[in-house]
Structure 1
Amino acid sequence: MRIQIGAKKTMERLDEMLESAMDGTFEEERYDETELSRLESRWKQYFTSTRHALEETRRERENMKALVSDISHQTRTPLSNILLYGELLEEKASDGEERELARQIMGQTRKLEFLIQALVKMSRLESGVLEIFPEGQNLLPLLQDVAAAFGPKAREKGIELDVRFPRGEVFCRYDRKWTAEALGNIVDNAIKYAPAGSRVGVSAREFEFYVCVQVKDQGPGIPEEERARIFGRFCRGKGMQQEDGIGIGLYLAREILERQDGYIKVSSREGEGSCFGVYLPRAEENLSKV
């Protein structure tokens, strides 16, 4: 009987220790040579070191956030000035060769600006600085954002961007700003690698638990051996080295989607184009009003 009572008290104390550890108020109560006292002492050491580690992680996140913001801020003005001077050089150039050199300066500066912005976004994602807040909302505004952002680029290259809007309301959970970034990266790639005169289609399909936004192109396709790694950092296909880009657009898209319980898939055949599927969790209409 005494053993049962003792075991019950021990379990009650262990339960108290767990509860207090979970809410951050754990304190060692026993200072004798019993097994429970030694256990309390070890737990105290463990939770103290854990709190210190969490605090250090928080400080590192704050430092990384400040560093990334500083890099973004400090590079913005010099790059803008270089672009401005490039435009002035182009206007004042006396012959075609000088104008071409000015255009090259401006083109390379824009690539550098894009690279810095992409690296800043990647750093924010990997350090946990970038916060994504998915909410239940209609899919239509997201598709409208993509059509407005990439329609002009597609027309400039002679490509038909065919965005099929749903006939009715389709609700899913997503962060509009960052999901537009993810989907935009995929559409941008499709336009970049598709030949002039071809078509890029964007449409939505509803499943039981997800809504899938499909992006189909008529580009060169992706070799089978490359499909497993195209969502990695700085990954570019062997046949795409001559195209502009640094190979992190699909990586960012995957990271953004995973942070809101979505995912991305690709199917492709060489010479027949590719189809990327962006899957977003379905939501009821009333979730958009919470």
Structure 2
Amino acid sequence: MAAQPRPGRSKPQATARSLFRSLRVRLGVLVATVVLTTGAAAAVFGLSLSVVNQHVSALSSAQRRLEDLSTASSRVGDYALAALQTTESHELQTDRLSLPRKRIQEAFERFRQDVAEEIDRRGEEAAAAMSASRGRALAFMKGSFELLDRQVMSAIREGREPREGALQAAEEKVRVSLDMFGGSFGPALGQAIENERVAAREADAAMAKLRSRFAPMATLALGVAALIAFMLYRWIASPLLARVSDVASAAREIAQGRTDIRLVVEGHDELSLLTTRFNRMALHLSRRERRLLSAQSRLQEIVDARTAELREANERLSDIDLARRRFFTDVSHELRTPLTVILGEVDVTLRGKPEREDLAQALATIRVRARRLHRRVEDLLRVARSENGQLDLDFEPVSLAAIVEQARDGVAAAAKARNVTLGFEPPADDPVVEADAEWLRQVVEGLVANAVRHSAAGGAIRLSVGHGSNGATLKVSDDGEGIPEADLPHVFERFYRGVSEKEGSGFGIGLALARWIVERHNGRISIESRTAAPGRSSGTIVSITLPSLTPRLAIGAGS
């Protein structure tokens, strides 16, 4: 029977409990709490910073206005001193008052600008009150100074008049004007300074009140944040970290080779599922380790046995290979020495004047045959060097048509003896490739010789060169007996001899060496062949593809 829910527990409560078993939900709660706490702290901090910034701006503005009033008072004193000096020295130069007057006006203008900035920052009611009080004070001080300036300038002009007692009257008038200005300007300036001091004290008091208000709140917020962080750590982070640490320790033990380690599964969340899968993985690793050890033991026994067999086979192959290379070298040496003597004697004889024409023709024929035999010996030497890993290619631009004609001349006698026709028509566009001419000639000549050997009397062999999509192409086609389908995949294997291969048909290295040489030229060689069947003739096509030279190099090769 299915388990019945406990009495008194509603379905939404059960759903909520199952949700909080999920690791994702708990991590989501943790992240959401952190985000909300951080957002609330940022909002409170921003609000506090805005309020503090307002009070700091008010205090700073009041201090600037105090400095402006202090500067104006100092500049007014400079103006009064300059006016007295002008009249007492009897110079009566109005230019001495221009600079003090300008500085006083600048001080008044700075004070007006600072007052305007503070009015813009404040609220509508406070701005109206401040504009009225500061505006009246500034207007009164500017009016008092302008009146003083006009009286001083009037006294100076009167002192310049050519009448008796004019200078003394001007000096007395300036003193009276300064006394009257001091009686009206001094109280107004003092009141303005006092107003700004009151504004500064109010801003300072507001900042102190803000500090006293926010200090307990900040302490409380810090305590609440610390309590929330501690509860989240105890409820979510600490258990998760402990379980993750257990998994990491178990993984480290398995990495060190202890596959028998297992973890205790706690809870029903994603981490519990991970722990279960970890234990299952450890079990599989333990079983696989035992199987691997058993297989390794068996493999070691097989490897030891095969190593012994391979060592014996390698020794036998080394002896065979050494004997084969010695055979090539000895045959080449034994053939080249008498051929050199023959060629020397023929050349000496031909330098003279034989009495009979037949003798000269015979000697010429001997020389041609001897040179052809000498070429065969050089081919054998190259094969011996290639078998010893000493294949050195001398690349140069060569004509494929010229290579084919040399190969055809080399096997012409054998083809004539077997009554086989060699057909080749040089193309109008002769392909030019970069290759070792002797090695490439030997490859083509070997392919043609194979075609002659496997062609019946009266057969025909077709040679062709041209341009293909992948480069220059060279083809050797015959209508011989063909290659059996079972032997076709192995024709390029070294020392492979087909089941139909006759005795004395060669050493079995021709096609393997040909493919090696063609690949060393960055080319490709392929064979298509078919045997005779009802309604189908036999024949073989050997294709060689080599990279073509660029037109510039091809022109150089042709020239």
Give the TM-score, by structure 2 length: 0.32
Q: Paired residue for 1:132?
A: 393
The CA deviation string for residues 98-129 of structure 1, in whole angstroms up to 9 with x for no partner, is xxxxxxxxxxxxxxxxx998775444224431
1:252 pairs with 2:528: no
1:223 pairs with 2:489: no
1:165 pairs with 2:431: no
1:178 pairs with 2:446: no
Which structure has the larger Rg over C-alpha atoms?
A: 2
In structure 1, runs of 5+ residues without a counterpart are 1-67, 82-114
The separation in 2 between residues aligned to 1:195 and 1:242, in whole angstroms, is 17
Q: Paired residue for 2:81?
A: none
Superposition RMSD on alpha carbons, in Å?
3.2
CA gap of 1:156–1:282, structure 2 versus 1, over 3 A, is same
In structure 2, runs of 5+ residues without a counterpart are 1-324, 339-375, 533-537
2:448 and 2:476 in contact (8 A); partners too: yes
Question: Any runs of at least 4 consecutive aligned residues in structure 1 with deviations exceeding 4 A, and if so which?
Answer: 68-71, 78-81, 115-120
1:201 pairs with 2:454: no
SS at 2:546 equivalent: strand
C-alpha deviation, 1:260, in angstroms: 0.9
1:137 and 1:285 in contact (8 A); partners too: no
Higher relative contact order (Cα pairs below 8 Å, separated by 6+ residues): 1
SS at 2:433 equivalent: strand
Q: Paired residue for 1:72?
A: 329
The separation in 1 between residues aligned to 2:400 and 2:455, in whole angstroms, is 26
C-alpha deviation, 1:224, in angstroms: 1.5
1:140 and 1:165 in contact (8 A); partners too: yes
The separation in 2 between residues aligned to 1:75 and 1:136, in whole angstroms, is 29
The CA deviation string for residues 147-194 of structure 1, in whole angstroms up to 9 with x for no partner, is 211122111110001122112232222211100011111110000011
Name the aligned partner's letter for residue 163 of structure 1: F
CA gap of 1:165–1:242, structure 2 versus 1, over 3 A, is same
C-alpha deviation, 1:266, in angstroms: 0.4
Q: Paired residue for 1:273?
A: 539
> Between the two proteins, what is the percent identity of the paired residues?
26
1:135 and 1:287 in contact (8 A); partners too: no
SS at 1:128 equivalent: coil
Relative to its length, the structure with more helix (as a share) is: 2
The separation in 2 between residues aligned to 1:75 and 1:149, in whole angstroms, is 18
SS at 1:252 equivalent: helix
The separation in 2 between residues aligned to 1:143 and 1:71, in whole angstroms, is 26
The separation in 1 between residues aligned to 2:506 and 2:409, in whole angstroms, is 22
Name the aligned partner's letter for residue 72 of structure 1: T
Quick one: which of 281, 286, 289 aligns to 2:552? 286
* Pairing 1:139-154 to 2, within 5 Å after superposition: 139-154=400-415
SS at 1:240 equivalent: coil
Give the TM-score, by structure 1 length: 0.58
The separation in 2 between residues aligned to 1:76 and 1:178, in whole angstroms, is 20
C-alpha deviation, 1:201, in angstroms: 0.7
Matched residue count? 193
The separation in 2 between residues aligned to 1:74 and 1:160, in whole angstroms, is 31
The separation in 2 between residues aligned to 1:244 and 1:74, in whole angstroms, is 18
The CA deviation string for residues 175-229 of structure 1, in whole angstroms up to 9 with x for no partner, is 1110001111111000001101010111113113321111111111111221111
1:165 and 1:203 in contact (8 A); partners too: yes
CA gap of 1:120–1:164, structure 2 versus 1, over 3 A, is same
CA gap of 1:116–1:205, structure 2 versus 1, over 3 A, is closer
